[in-house]
Amino acid sequence: ETGVTQSPTHLIKTRGQQVTLRCSSQSGHNTVSWYQQALGQGPQFIFQYYREEENGRGNFPPRFSGLQFPNYSSELNVNALELDDSALYLCASTPGQGYEQYFGPGTRLTVT
């Protein structure tokens, strides 16, 4: 096990609603990244947090936002949910930039 945990494991939301997903990073890892993985695709980078600051962002709209806390845990918030937001959301922690990333089990979000 990687030591990265995510909650909840599954979630069903309605279009237009908001959702918050949570991640606890592996002990000693100060960098957390979030990914969206649609069925049959590789994970797509959403953003990364390093020491509570956003440290890079992929091609996702502003309704995807995040936070990192002093204990390095993190949240992903998605506003105004769309059907295409249905995916597996993965959190990954790393001991430093450029190093290998360790993934949590993911949150499977379904938007109806």
Please report, as ranges, the residues that interact with another protein according to CB under 8 A. 2, 31, 33, 35, 40-45, 48, 50, 55-56, 58, 88, 90, 92, 97-106
The whole-angstrom separation of Cα 90 and Cα 21 is 10
The residues with which 80 forms a beta bridge, in sequence order, are none
| Residue nearer to another protein on the CB measure, 65 or 103 | 103
Nearer to another protein, 79 or 97 (CB): 97
At closest approach, how far in Å is the CB of 16 from another protein? 27
Instruction: Kindly tell me which of 11 and 58 has the beta carbon lying closer to another protein.
Output: 58
Overall residue count recorded for the chain in this entry: 112
How deeply is 107 buried, as exposed, middle or buried, from its count of CB atoms within 10 A (0-12, 13-18, 19+)?
buried
